[in-house]
Amino acid sequence: MSMKTSTGLQDSGTEAESDAENIEADLAISELIDQHENTGWSAVPGISGAEAGAWSARLIEAREIMQEGF
């Protein structure tokens, strides 16, 4: 039975599916972090280096929080 967790993430209700979903989510957020860090933010109008750095830090923190639940 599928259900939403308190964080709003979909939980399939089985451990095997949850592990696969967690691995998939970890890979997805890692890819997002890599793409974010490789973006030339100086070429994006209205986005400062400090803002981009703060976003990267938040993404990394989110990944670490997510991994704590594995």
pLDDT tier at 58 (50, 70, 90 boundaries)?
A: very high
Residue 25 in any domain: the answer is yes
Structurally, the chain folds into a number of domains equal to 1
> What's the chain's average pLDDT?
80
Residue 2 in any domain: the answer is no
Sequential DSSP letters for 4-28:
E-TTS-EE-SSHHHHHHHHHHHHHH
Note the pLDDT of residue 51. Answer: 92
Give me the domain span that covers residue 25. 14-68
> What is the distance between the alpha carbons of residues 61 and 59, in angstroms, rounded to a whole number?
5
Residue 9 in any domain: the answer is no
Residue with tokens 């981009």, as numbered in its chain:
52
Residue 6 in any domain: the answer is no
Residue 8 in any domain: the answer is no
Taking a C-beta distance cutoff of 8 angstroms, is the pair 59, 29 a contact?
Answer: yes
Residue 7 in any domain: the answer is no
What is the pLDDT averaged over residues 41-46? 90
Residue 4 in any domain: the answer is no
pTM of the entire predicted model:
0.62
